[in-house]
């Protein structure tokens, strides 16, 4: 027995030595799995794998089919015979699509045709740019085309409105009714300043017989999104109630044509991310954040009965269900990830919640990588609340050693911090570089109730900053944390948090990294495009001197007001095509740090927006990130 024990320890040691640590290059060689749908016969799953090529600075994609019960995947080149095309009408006579249509004259060439080589944009009102594009007078319109040939009909002719919605909309924004008599599409029929300050999107139904269009959600003033019919003709969609509030509680609404029912209002803690109808049309499956993960749920639709909808959580565990591909009988196919694994497809037994991995695109890579332990920790906040904090440990963590730690500040600001797998802010990669990662579910995150989620609004630099400090203070008490080597990193609102904490951290941190963060509230209000965000979250414009909430935001929560207290090295990333948090925010922060004599570095990404999407740019980003930490931490 003693010899067997010795051999076991020897084997474990050799296994540990054989494991490698995740690198930025390996991260960007992983296949990115995306489910396309269930085959017509219900026996197979179609999915694609996109693989970045760093040398060519682009990605290639291949499509596969795999038996739903598991087995070998087969490469395919055409999915038409396998999948139902949801854009073809049920009778096969028509197809719907979206096409960019010139509606407005915006360019210098439009105004002065004789000046054909001019490169000028002329605007009389907002919204002159959005996300990463300048408004060019073209708008995405829903087009109805006979499949047998013939001219396409523009269902939004002459309208300065987009479907899909910009910047995040897709094919889910326009759908056929179950009987093919109507097309329902999503758009925001506002223009100019009204567009920039409103989130009031609506569902519009176009009647093929009459050619008329009806607003189905005129009574709701917030977001209405993602329409989907069941086979009984009942329409479901996602809805937020308040105009101008992009992070309102998102619920599933179902209409039978005469009455509407909110199926998820009963659960204050659930903010629905996405859904699909069940095959029988009697219930819907959906995903939502809960307690630091994203899980799969089912809710019944009672129809005309007087019963209440019943919500059941199907899956549980330290992972994210981040997409629903489809149903085949008693089985669902979903996409699942965790902090150690990129998304793969899994089957789910609807009755038991049992999950079985279906695709194995990255298994061979992960088999040789050191995995990171992820731990839930509950920390008391300054006002006595219990806050969930994810702690991610380096591979082969040894509690008898000392490790530097990184406070990770999530963006959003109201986006869930769950078991996601990011190809930029990758916790496994951070931990594999020897850092303990502290990731708090601070105020302003769904999955912990509406009050917790909304407490950040009009208080961006208030109690949330104390949440961050409570988290890092709690973890840094551990003997294995080197208190003299603490860093703070984040993007978007997380970048703002780094700027804000730089002026109030009382020498806790040795270094900061901020990506596309807000530095100055006034210039942010004067240059961002979706003005509903600062109107709601800051309280309004800076010139409204009688607005107490707004004046508090601009005076107390703008990091630019506290630069005199900065004393810590800071690395600043910014995408030049980021029109949400414009480049000037990063430039101002860097200039302030330089003039204060603080070690600082600015990395500008001229081709990138709020994200970093190109392979080689991403490699530079990662290498600069870890070079900075090596220099300063």
What amino acid positions are annotated as catalytic residues?
492, 578, 610
Q: Long-range contact list for 40-43, CB < 8 A, 24+ apart?
A: 40/82, 40/83, 40/84, 42/68, 42/328, 42/329, 43/67, 43/68, 43/328
Which residue is it, tokens 């900075």?
628
385 preceded by cis ω (within 30°)? no
Taking only Cα atoms into account, the Rg of the chain, rounded to an integer number of angstroms, comes to 26
Strand partners, 204: 185, 215
Q: Distance (Å, rounded) from C-alpha 380 to C-alpha 605? A: 39
Q: Distance (Å, rounded) from C-alpha 527 to C-alpha 545? A: 20
3-state secondary structure of 630: helix
Strand partners, 600: 570
Axis crossing angle, helix 493-501 with helix 463-476, rounded to the nearest 10:
80
**Element at 615 (helix H, strand E):** helix 615-632
Helical segments of 356-405, H only: 363-367
Q: What is the 3-state secondary structure (H, E, C) of 198-224?
A: CCCCEEEEEECCCCCEEECCCCCCCCE
Cα distance from N-terminal residue to C-terminal residue, the chain: 46
**Element at 471 (helix H, strand E):** helix 463-476
* Lateral strand order in the sheet of 202-207: 174-176, 182-187, 202-207, 213-215
């Amino acid at each position: 027995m003693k010899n067997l024990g010795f051999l076991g320890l020897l084997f474990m040691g050799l296994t540990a030595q054989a494991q490698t640590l995740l690198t930025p290059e390996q991260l960007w060689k992983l296949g990115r799995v995306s489910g396309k749908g269930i085959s017509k016969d219900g026996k197979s799953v179609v999915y694609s794998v996109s693989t970045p090529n760093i040398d060519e600075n682009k990605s290639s994609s291949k499509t596969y089919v795999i038996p739903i019960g598991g087995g070998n995947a087969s490469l395919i080149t055409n999915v038409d015979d396998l999948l139902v095309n949801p854009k073809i009408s049920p009778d096969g006579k028509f197809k719907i699509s979206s096409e960019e249509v010139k509606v407005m004259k915006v360019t210098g060439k439009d105004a002065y045709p004789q000046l054909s080589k001019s490169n000028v944009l002329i605007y009389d009102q907002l919204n002159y740019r959005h996300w990463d594009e300048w408004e060019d007078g073209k708008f995405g319109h829903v087009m109805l085309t006979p499949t047998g040939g013939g001219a396409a009909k523009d269902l939004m002719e002459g309208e300065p409105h987009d479907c899909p919605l910009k910047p995040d909309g897709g094919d889910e924004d326009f759908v056929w009714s179950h009987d093919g008599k109507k097309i329902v599409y999503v758009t925001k029929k506002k223009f100019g300043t009204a567009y920039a300050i409103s989130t009031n999107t609506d569902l519009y139904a176009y009647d093929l017989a009459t050619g008329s269009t009806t607003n189905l959600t005129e009574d709701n003033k917030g977001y209405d999104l993602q329409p989907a019919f069941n086979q009984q003709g009942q329409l479901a969609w996602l809805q937020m109630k308040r105009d101008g509030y992009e992070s309102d509680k998102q619920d599933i609404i179902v209409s039978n044509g005469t009455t509407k029912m909110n199926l998820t209002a009963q659960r204050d803690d659930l903010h629905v991310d996405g859904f699909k109808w069940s095959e029988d049309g009697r219930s819907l499956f959906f995903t939502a954040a809960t307690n630091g993960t994203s899980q799969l749920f089912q809710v019944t639709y009672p129809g005309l009965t007087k019963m209440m909808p019943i919500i059941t959580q199907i899956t549980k565990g330290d992972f994210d269900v981040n997409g629903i591909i489809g149903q085949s009988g008693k089985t669902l196919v979903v996409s699942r990830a965790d902090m150690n694994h990129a998304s793969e497809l899994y089957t789910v037994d609807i009755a038991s919640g049992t999950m079985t991995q279906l695709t194995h695109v990255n298994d061979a890579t992960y088999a040789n990588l050191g995995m990171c332990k992820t731990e839930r920790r509950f920390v008391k906040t300054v006002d006595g609340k219990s806050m969930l904090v994810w702690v991610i440990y380096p591979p082969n963590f040894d509690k008898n050693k000392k490790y530097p730690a990184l406070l990770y500040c999530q963006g959003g600001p109201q986006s869930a911090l769950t078991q996601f797998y990011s190809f930029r802010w990758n916790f496994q990669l951070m931990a594999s570089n020897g850092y303990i990662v502290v990731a708090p579910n601070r105020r302003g995150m769904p999955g912990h109730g509406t009050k917790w989620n909304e407490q950040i609004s009009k208080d961006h630099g208030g109690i949330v900053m104390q949440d961050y400090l409570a988290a890092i203070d709690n973890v840094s008490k551990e003997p294995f944390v080197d208190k003299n080597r603490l860093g703070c990193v984040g993007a978007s609102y997380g970048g703002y948090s780094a700027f804000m904490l730089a002026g109030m951290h009382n020498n806790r941190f040795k270094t900061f990294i901020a990506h596309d963060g807000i530095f100055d509230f006034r210039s942010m209000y004067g240059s961002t495009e979706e003005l509903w965000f600062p109107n709601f979250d800051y309280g309004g414009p800076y010139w409204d001197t009688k607005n107490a909430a707004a004046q508090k935001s601009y005076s107390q929560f703008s990091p630019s007001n506290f630069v005199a207290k900065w004393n810590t090295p800071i690395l600043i990333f910014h995408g030049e095509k980021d029109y949400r948090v414009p480049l000037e925010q990063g430039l101002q922060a860097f200039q302030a740090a330089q003039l204060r004599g603080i070690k600082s570095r600015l990395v500008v990404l001229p081709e990138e927006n709020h994200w970093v999407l190109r392979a080689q740019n991403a490699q530079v980003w990662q290498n600069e990130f870890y070079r900075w930490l090596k220099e300063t931490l």
